[in-house]
């Protein structure tokens, strides 16, 4: 199973420097993500979400996007155009290797067809689309509100 | 018949008599084996199995009583250094000193801490020193113990942290017993760690041990601080001290070097004239006073402070804490290693590392072509720099600075609020999000005199985003040299230092790091070191999962196998049971975030009773 393609990307840029980064910059992952659509896409889904779940795990998608797409480099609640349709998603997975191999347009790894087939990609897409935001509204999280209130009291040395 | 050597004192005599009596009741087979070993010693070429077993078998029956052994004097020296604790992983190359520490020295100042790995012993000393501001001692077995300790020594070296290490050796090959003692001896013991030990010595006499221990301590504590080692020969430890006039010299500490006045004036001029300066901190605040000084400089200059990830330099909700606005035109680096300024940005560096550096190991980071480099300790230089800046700020300039300050405060506040609001994403996720893990802790500890004794690099810096850090001891940074295996033992050492101040120590512990040497949990339980350990259990060396993914993708081979060699699953490790095994309160695994607060509370209750407690939380990878 030999596969070859030359490309570089910055998947783990945050991690690479994690050992030396200042606290303040240590985990701006969500903040660093480009602003997307807060609402999930509504385009048709044809894949099998159950298969997709296994693939999401096997391809370690969770490694960057968390087990629900809400942590790390999150996409739930911040849906990019790359996730708007099945076609966009597949094009996105193939994009960097086949279209612009040396200049990755994102830091995400490339998934060529010999790694994830169209059918598998559709399954993964179907699974991703089942993700619901687990994030309650800020007003509904007393702990966070207390934290924000406590931190906004004027600082006294 | 016991044969006495050296001068006799009553206490020593009684001890000797007890040892003799104990020897009489040694079991017969053991006694024979010991006899074999003793007889074979002088002429043996190939060590017998009995000799090789010398470290595991009972020691040979004592046929003499040594009064006033050299190692008693060594204890006097160590006591003169004011060392509170000695972390030890037992080894026969220092059995003389070991015995003196617990009996002659009464196991008090220093008190012995039993560890399960030399890396733990040194890393505990590393964490301790970052809280206490002074070294504790690590006592290490010759060659093998020192090799085990080496990574932890390197971390402390790169983190500029003082540690006083004493290493056993059997220096005199003419009297060295054949077998294992040869394996544990070296001609130049510290050669193997010299690249990352600030200074080491091989004293050939008790007087040299005394003098050079003082010297070693002084060198360790002079910025840039670092670990030092004194080798102690078993002969020196065990032979009677026949010297009449041994002296323990006074400990003569150096004042840390402050910057040259003309250079400091130039720096002040540049800083006051800059439109948008920023202060970047590395390991500048060695003490609480250092933190006050950095904060004061920021207040004088109205410049934002990037706290860095290594020490506390400014309270994290101080209006000037953060990166401020826009591109800086001047960066002041305080004990930052190798940070080349971005193009078209001027920079000033103040670091004691310009005064001391070794060449082999590349911990010094890239060369930084700065505009003004001041070879001095930043903390010691700050009072002068603050004064010089104040002199240059006139009423006009002050108005400009005030205006700048409010813009910076606004930008920093916005960034801080955003970070807090972002904590809601993944709030109800299972496995638990790192933001929730940290958020649920805060209300439970904020009224305690808390101290975060673990590193935040792999937990997304969430405590810094959600908690109010005001004090120097509330955060002590990370490994130093990125050597994983630091966090668990260093946090125990830091918690130990916090104990006498009654502080509440908390450590958020990654699973990979703990598994290097988990025995330190037992050390924490045994010595009743109160601390709450919350596992960030992502069941992986997650940083490495992502590295392997990157490689596999670069080569277009798919990433289905990135978990091989990088994950800690099948079977999952049960950290609650691990904690219980080592004698700690342990609970978990917690996968539902709704269970967090109650579990934390139960753990905190135990910690308040003076014990360590561990709560295992299964987490999102990052
Ligand atoms: C002594 C040592 N061995 C290996 C590494 C490489 N390394 C860097 S991060 C890491 C994973 C650490 O795992 P863990 O502590 O669980 O943190 P996680 O990445 O899962 O958040 C490893 C093995 C290292 N830095 N130091």
Closest CA–CA distance from residue B299 to any residue of chain A (Å): 12
Better pLDDT: B286 or A106: B286
Element (H, E) at B153: helix B144-158
Atom 11 (ligand 1): residue with closest C-alpha? Answer: B541
From chain A, the residues in CB contact with B308 under 8 A are 22-23
Residue B335, ligand 1, Cβ within 6 A: no
Tell how far CA B376 is from the center of its chain: 23
Q: Which residues of chain A from 38 to 57 reach within 8 Å of chain B, CB to CB?
A: none
Specify the range with the lowest mean pLDDT, choosing from B280-284, B304-308, B337-341, B399-403. B337-341
Cβ atoms of B165 and B227 within 8 Å: the answer is yes
Note the pLDDT of residue A112: 81
Specify the range with the lowest mean pLDDT, choosing from A147-151, B450-454, B520-524, B582-586. A147-151
**Is it the case that residue B47 has pLDDT exceeding 60?**
no
CA of B482 to the centre of ligand 1 (A): 8
pLDDT by position in tens, chain A (length 157): 333 333 222 222 223 233 333 333 333 345 444 578 888 999 999 999 999 999 999 888 998 899 999 988 889 988 989 999 999 999 888 876 655 555 555 667 778 888 889 999 999 999 999 998 878 999 999 999 999 999 887 777 6
DSSP-derived secondary structure letter, B567 = B
CA–CA separation, B616 vs B622, rounded Å? Answer: 16
Concatenate the DSSP letters of all residues of B299-358 into one string. Answer: HHHT--EE--SSS--S-TTSTTBS--SS--SEEEEES--S-PPPTT-EEEEEEGGGG---
Q: Band of the pLDDT at B317, cuts 50, 70, 90? A: very high
Q: What pTM was estimated for this model as a whole?
A: 0.89
The listed range with the strongest mean pLDDT (A48-62, B37-51, B198-212, B355-369) is B198-212
From chain B, the residues in CB contact with A30 under 8 A are 422, 425
- Over residues B398-421, the pLDDT tens digits come to 999 999 999 999 999 999 999 999
Tokens representing residue B33 in the block: 């084996």
Q: Which residues of chain A from 117 to 156 reach within 8 Å of chain B, CB to CB?
A: 133-138, 141, 143-144, 146-148, 150-152, 155
Q: List domains and CATH numbers for chain A.
A: 49-138 (1.10.760)
CA of B504 to the centre of ligand 1 (A): 27
Whether the complex's predicted ipTM is more than 0.90 is answered with no
- Over residues B373-384, the pLDDT tens digits come to 999 999 999 999
Element (H, E) at B9: none
SS3 A94: helix
Concatenate the DSSP letters of all residues of B14-63 into one string. Answer: HHHHHHHHHHHTS-HHHHHHHHHHHHHTTT-SSPPHHHHGGGTSPPPPP-
Torsion of CA B477, B481, B482, B486, to 10 degrees: -70
Counting Cα atoms < 13 Å in the Cβ hemisphere of B271 gives: 31
Atom 14 (ligand 1): residue with closest C-alpha? Answer: B512
Note the pLDDT of residue A157: 64
Better pLDDT: B558 or B109: B109
Q: List domains and CATH numbers for chain B.
A: 14-56 (no CATH), 70-238 (3.40.50.970), 261-419 (3.40.50.1220), 426-618 (3.40.50.970)
Task: Express as a percent the part of chain B with pLDDT over 90.
Answer: 84
**Is it the case that residue B134 has pLDDT exceeding 90?**
yes
Average pLDDT over chain B, rounded to an integer: 91
Note the pLDDT of residue A9: 27
Cβ atoms of B445 and B100 within 8 Å: the answer is no
Concatenate the DSSP letters of all residues of B60-123 into one string. Answer: PPP-EEESSBHHHHHHHHHHHTT--EEEE---GGGHHHHHIIIIITTT-SSEEEE-S-HHHHHH
Q: Across the interface, do A18 and B547 touch by the CB < 8 Å criterion?
A: no
- Over residues B576-601, the pLDDT tens digits come to 999 999 999 999 999 999 999 999 99
Cβ atoms of B478 and A19 within 8 Å: the answer is yes
């Amino acid at each position: 199973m030999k596969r070859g393609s030359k490309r570089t990307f910055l998947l783990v840029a945050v991690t690479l420097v994690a050992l030396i980064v200042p606290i303040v910059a240590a985990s701006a992952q969500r903040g660093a993500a480009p602003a997307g659509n807060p609402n999930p896409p509504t385009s048709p889904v044809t894949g099998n979400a159950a298969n997709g779940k296994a693939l999401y795990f096997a391809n370690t998608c969770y490694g960057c996007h968390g087990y629900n797409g809400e942590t790390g480099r999150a996409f739930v609640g911040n849906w990019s155009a790359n996730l708007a349709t099945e076609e966009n998603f597949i094009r996105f997975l193939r994009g960097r290797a086949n279209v612009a191999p040396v200049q990755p347009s994102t830091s995400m790894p490339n998934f060529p067809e010999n790694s994830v087939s169209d059918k598998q990609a559709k399954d993964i897409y179907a699974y991703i689309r089942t993700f619901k935001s687990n994030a309650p509204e800020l007003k509904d999280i007393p702990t966070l509100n207390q934290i924000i209130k406590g931190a906004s009291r004027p600082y006294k040395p | 018949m016991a044969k006495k050597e050296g001068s006799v004192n009553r206490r020593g005599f009684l001890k000797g008599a007890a040892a003799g009596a104990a020897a009489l009741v040694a079991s017969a087979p053991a006694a024979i084996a010991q006899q074999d070993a003793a007889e074979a010693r002088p002429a043996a070429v190939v060590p017998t199995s009995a000799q090789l077993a010398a470290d595991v078998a009972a020691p040979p029956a004592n046929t003499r009583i040594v009064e006033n052994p050299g190692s008693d004097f060594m204890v006097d020296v160590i006591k003169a250094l004011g060392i509170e604790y000695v972390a030890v992983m037992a080894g026969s190359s220092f059995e003389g000193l070991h015995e003196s520490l617990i009996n002659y020295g009464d196991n008090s100042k220093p008190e012995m801490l039993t560890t399960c790995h030399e890396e733990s012993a040194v890393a505990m000393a590393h964490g301790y020193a970052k809280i206490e501001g002074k070294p504790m001692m690590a006592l290490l077995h010759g060659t093998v113990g020192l090799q085990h300790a080496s990574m932890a020594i390197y971390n402390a070296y790169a983190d500029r942290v003082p540690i006083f290490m004493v290493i056993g050796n059997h220096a005199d090959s003419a009297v060295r017993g054949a077998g294992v003692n040869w394996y544990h001896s070296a001609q130049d013991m510290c050669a193997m760690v010299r690249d990352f030990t600030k200074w080491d010595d091989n004293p050939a006499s008790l007087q040299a041990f005394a003098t050079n221990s003082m010297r070693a301590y002084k060198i360790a504590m002079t910025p840039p601080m670092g670990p030092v080692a004194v080798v102690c020969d078993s002969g020196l430890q065990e032979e009677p001290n026949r010297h009449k006039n041994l002296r323990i010299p006074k400990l003569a500490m150096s004042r840390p070097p402050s910057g040259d006045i003309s250079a400091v004036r130039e720096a002040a001029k540049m800083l006051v004239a800059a439109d948008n300066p920023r202060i970047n901190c590395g390991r500048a605040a060695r003490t609480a006073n250092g933190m006050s000084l950095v904060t004061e400089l920021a207040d004088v200059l109205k410049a934002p402070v990037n706290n860095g990830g290594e020490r506390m330099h400014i309270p994290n909700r101080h209006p000037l804490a953060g990166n401020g606005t826009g591109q800086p035109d001047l960066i002041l680096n305080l004990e930052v290693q190798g940070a080349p300024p971005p193009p078209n940005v001027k920079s000033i560096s103040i670091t004691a590392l310009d005064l001391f550096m070794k060449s082999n190991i590349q911990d010094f980071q890239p060369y930084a072509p700065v505009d003004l480099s001041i070879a001095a300790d930043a903390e010691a230089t700050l009072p002068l720099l603050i004064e010089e800046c104040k002199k240059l700020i006139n009423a006009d300039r002050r108005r400009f600075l005030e205006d700048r300050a409010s813009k910076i405060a606004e930008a920093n506040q916005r960034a801080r609020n955003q970070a807090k609001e972002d904590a809601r994403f993944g709030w109800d996720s299972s496995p638990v999000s790192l933001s929730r893990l940290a958020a649920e802790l805060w209300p439970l500890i904020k009224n305690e005199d808390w101290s975060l004794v673990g590193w935040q690099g792999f937990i997304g810096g969430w405590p810094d985003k959600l908690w109010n850090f005001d004090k120097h001891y509330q955060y002590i940074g990370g490994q130093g040299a990125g050597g994983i295996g630091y966090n668990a033992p260093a946090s125990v050492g830091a918690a130990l230092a916090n104990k006498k101040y009654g502080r509440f120590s908390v450590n958020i512990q990654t699973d990979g790091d703990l598994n290097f040497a988990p025995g330190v949990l037992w050390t924490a339980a045994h010595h009743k070191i109160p601390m709450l350990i919350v596992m960030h259990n992502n069941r992986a060396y997650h940083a490495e999962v992502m590295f392997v993914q990157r490689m596999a993708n670069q080569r277009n081979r798919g990433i289905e196998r990135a978990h091989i060699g990088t994950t800690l699953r099948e079977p999952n490790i049960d950290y609650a049971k691990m904690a219980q095994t080592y004698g700690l309160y342990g609970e978990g695994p917690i996968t539902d975030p709704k269970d967090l607060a109650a579990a934390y509370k139960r753990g905190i209750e135990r910690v308040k009773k003076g014990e360590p407690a561990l709560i295992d939380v299964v987490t999102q990878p990052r």
